Copies of this chain bind each other. A is one copy, B any other.
């Protein structure tokens, strides 16, 4: 795969190794991708935890062809279960602080791999952590001085406040994981017929949350009873539950990030997989909060930005 093959010289090998996927890009000195590889070898699937074998196997051709390029990785590769632990950096921190705390691995084939640390934040004594999302945000925020709230939906959704060049604080929501568990294993999944998107059902799930005050434990059951009483088509229960849970996250997040009341902080910046972002954007619309999709490749941009801050590239 060669998304943007040009004649420019390679300058950085950028790697994102998460829980369930491996992606790498060969970037030129302007951050353009000259080549890329991807695989489903996330940290949980690396045989015997032998990261070096995966690294060699996937990236050897680039190093053989272009010499010992600098290499920078982000994501779960820096966790305790990853290749080498890159300890969390505390908020507030931005690309500069991340660059100052890179972990380093020297491979037996003499490649030096740098790993971006995760970040932690203490919210009134309760710790929170992330790993990988800080790099996506580093690639998405062109102006780090303005207050910006970024939302990265997913298994463990992250909301972040960026200001004065740093991620000031962030919060994790178990939205995606909870939704999957309820669909797969709970009584709510039993009545569901299919998973096709039903906009009216999604909106209804959102509205039930918007018209209430944090009543998730009881509202969840409505995904069963509305189906039982034929007040919702069984083909719409999946979307209804999705709206209900996503909107619960947004309700909690808006309360947690009052900075969104400041005009300069709006719109919310949505970062991640476009299909999921469209759902969040629909839910934000319903709550009358403006949101904006960040297009492009925040991960590669973020790795490029951090590599520059670390002087790995000119």
Contact call A181/B185, Cβ cutoff below 8 A: yes
Residue A226 is within 8 A (CB to CB) of chain B in the complex = yes
Residues A252 and B127 in contact in the complex (CB < 8 Å), given A173-B221, A174-B221, A181-B186:
no
Say if the beta carbon of A293 comes within 8 Å of chain B: no
Q: Are B248 and A217 in contact (CB under 8 A)?
A: yes
Partner of A217, one of B120, B229, B249: B249
Question: Smallest CB-CB separation from A171: which chain B residue?
Answer: B218
Oligomer: number of copies: 2
**CB-CB < 8 A to A186: which residues of B?**
174, 177-178, 181
Interface membership of chain A positions 82-100, coded 1 if the CB is closer than 8 angstroms to chain B and 0 otherwise: 0000000000000000000
Q: Is the CB of A229 within 8 A of B127?
A: yes
**Is B156 in contact with A221, judged by CB distance below 8 angstroms?**
yes
**CB-contacts of A244-272 with B (<8 A):** 245, 248-249, 251-252, 255-256
Bound-state CA distance A74–B237 (Å) is: 29
Give the contact-size bracket for chain A: 35 or more
Cross-interface CB contact of A174 among B173, B220, B229, B249, cutoff 8 Å: B220
In the bound assembly, the distance between CA atoms of A150 and B228 in angstroms comes to 25
Residues of B near A231 (CB, < 8 A) are 125, 127
- Cβ contact within 8 Å between B173 and A225: no
From B182, B208, B214, B215, contact of A181 by CB (8 A): B182
- Expressed in whole angstroms, the minimum distance between the Cβ of A134 and any Cβ of chain B is 16
**When chains A and B are docked, how far (Å) is the Cα of A156 from the Cα of B188?**
12
A residues 165-189 near B (Cβ < 8 Å) are 171-175, 177-178, 181-182, 184-187
Q: Is the CB of A225 within 8 A of B187?
A: no
Contact: B217 with A215, CB < 8 Å?
no
Whether a CB of chain B sits under 8 angstroms from the CB of A216 is: yes
Closest to A19 in B: B187
Contact A228 B185 (CB under 8 A): no
Task: Decide: A129 near B225, CB < 8 A? Known: A182-B181, A187-B177, A255-B213.
Answer: yes
Chain B residues within 8 Å of A175, by CB: 217
6 tightest CB-CB pairs across the interface, nearest first?
A214-B214, A173-B217, A127-B225, A172-B221, A127-B229, A174-B220
Known pairs A172-B221, A181-B185, A184-B185. 8 more at Cβ < 8 A? A156-B221, A172-B218, A173-B217, A178-B186, A181-B181, A181-B186, A214-B214, A216-B248
